[in-house]
Structure 1
Amino acid sequence: MQQTPGIAHYETLTTSAWPALASEYLDGWVLRFAQGYTKRANSVTPLWQGDLPMLQKLDYCELRYQQQGLPVVFKLTPASQSLDEALAVRGYQLVDPSSVQTRPLQAGDFAFDAAVQSSDTLSEAWFAQFVALNNVSAAHQSSARQMLGSYACPTQFATLYHEGKAVACALAVVQFNTVLLYDVVTLAGQRRQGYARRLVGHLLAWAQAQGAEKAVLQVVAANTPALALYAKLGFIEQYPYWYRRQPV
């Protein structure tokens, strides 16, 4: 794994800010388990160069996820090119090319929105909206609830309402001097009306009040509307990332 400036820092933040139910650290790699809920929380993230042979660690990861009844999934960046090549040789499928994007936060850039209801704790109402808007299956709702209720750092669970109806929700997490945004989603049929932009603006205003100086988000490269929204909000890509999934 190459030591590319900046990537290890952002990967540490984004891994920490989306908690798994259990994590195991292996010589610079983090193995994360969450009973199959989301790739991010059920994947291996290489964070830094270790000492053990790569193939030895790879064999161990395959064993551990097999014990959990899950395929091995690796979250990879340009810093892990040699691992990506080794996984390709093993037949691991490349899925969901994505982008890590950031923007600085400056006073006056964003303001609170009166149509947004938000809380620093996970409420039943917000979780119900989150489940509905993200189509979380019944089998994964218990894991999602545990994960979202486990934060020790400042968080904000936000919903934007229009005419009394929840039309968008999102989650913000502050770590170090950075706010990380997750699961910004708008109700189908209510998209392209500016709701997501208003919701993100509200969360960034909240983050500034917490002392955050920078915002970070991750977006799937194929999500063209989201990419356009974040570009308008001043986000720029820092580096790409992608997943490699073990063949069935």
Structure 2
Amino acid sequence: MSPSVLEPIADAAWPARERERLGGWRLNATDGFSLRINACWPLGEADREPEAAIDAVEAFYGARGLPVRFKLTDGATSPADLADRLARRGYALHGETLLMTGPVVGAGDAEVVISSEPDPAFEALLVASAKGNAADANERLQALGRIPAPARFARLTLEGRTAALGACAVDGQAVGIFGMRTDPDFRRRGLARRVLDALLAEAASLGARTAYLQVEDVNAPAVALYSARGFSTAYRYRYWSRLARD
């Protein structure tokens, strides 16, 4: 799938609490932690000239006390010189991310529990992975709760503990993979792959044919896992941010 097709699907799959539009520019705002739901996605032509549109985005995030952030996607950013415009305003580039796609082929796993909503054990590991940042964990839990149906949540239990988890959102023939986590005590045991396989098997039963996921390009272990599983980079995106002003 091209970025012009897949990006709106990915946006809908991980919904922000607040969502507004400036023509083809999508403004997402939550609590400022998960970048995708706290950024402007300029996926089409804005409803005003570019500098005025940037002003409006800055006002939107400024009114909420959030950093002003743009998510610029290769092959799907309008206008094409938006990065240059942001650089002139003092924005900083960060967070280069791969959008990887792969086949929806997996296998069920007796130790992976699949449910239509996150249970307390799922939530506990997700909160623990936030390393004490309760606000970050809460934002992500609420985002998981907003994933449109059919959503699925996978939890792998070993030795009486939740060892790994993940979630997916199915939209027609596309399925997005989100929230992959492994307890540090259980890493390097292939658990993430087992969770991924279980989610893909479930998604296949729901009609999905193409899977996608986002991973930072510096996360070499995750990139290697997904590459070994048949995923490849479809395109990249990067964030341009400016800190919130007093």
Classify the TM-score, shorter chain: over 0.9
* TM-score normalised by the chain length of structure 1: 0.92
User: SS where residue 240 of structure 1 aligns?
Assistant: strand
- Residues 34-84 of structure 1: CA distance to partner in whole angstroms, max 9, x if unpaired? 122311111101121234211100001111111100110111112324111
8 Å CA contact retained: 2:41, 2:72: yes
8 Å CA contact retained: 2:32, 2:67: no
8 Å CA contact retained: 1:17, 1:173: yes
Counterpart position of 2:101? 102
8 Å CA contact retained: 1:179, 1:212: yes
Moved more, 127-136 or 202-211: 127-136
Counterpart position of 1:150? 146
User: SS where residue 207 of structure 1 aligns?
Assistant: helix
Counterpart position of 2:218? 222
How far apart are the structure 2 equivalents of 1:39 and 1:242? 10
The answer for unaligned runs of 5 or more in structure 1 is none
Matches within 5 A, 1:4-153: 6-79=2-75, 80=77, 81-105=80-104, 109-135=105-131, 137-153=133-149
Moved more, 91-100 or 188-197: 188-197
- Residues 177-220 of structure 1: CA distance to partner in whole angstroms, max 9, x if unpaired? 11100121211132221000111000000000101011000100
8 Å CA contact retained: 2:121, 2:162: no
Number of residue-to-residue matches in the alignment: 241
Corresponding residue to 2:179 among 174, 179, 183: 183
8 Å CA contact retained: 1:113, 1:202: yes
Counterpart position of 2:240? 244
Tell me the CA shift for residue 151 of structure 1.
3.0
Tell me the CA shift for residue 118 of structure 1.
2.0
Tell me the CA shift for residue 176 of structure 1.
1.9
Identity %: 36
How far apart are the structure 2 equivalents of 1:231 and 1:187? 22
Could you tell me which amino acid in structure 2 is paired with residue 93 of structure 1? A
8 Å CA contact retained: 1:21, 1:143: no
Q: CA RMSD in A?
A: 1.6
Counterpart position of 1:199? 195
The answer for unaligned runs of 5 or more in structure 2 is none
8 Å CA contact retained: 2:13, 2:148: no
Q: Compared with structure 1, are the counterparts of its residues 171 and 135 closer, same or farther at alpha carbon in structure 2 (3 Å cutoff)? A: farther
User: SS where residue 227 of structure 1 aligns?
Assistant: helix
How far apart are the structure 2 equivalents of 1:27 and 1:58? 13
Counterpart position of 1:209? 205
How far apart are the structure 2 equivalents of 1:139 and 1:236? 33
- Residues 13-45 of structure 1: CA distance to partner in whole angstroms, max 9, x if unpaired? 111111111101111111111122311111101
* TM-score normalised by the chain length of structure 2: 0.92
Could you tell me which amino acid in structure 2 is paired with residue 204 of structure 1? L
Moved more, 128-137 or 234-243: 128-137
Tell me the CA shift for residue 247 of structure 1.
4.6
Tell me the CA shift for residue 136 of structure 1.
6.3
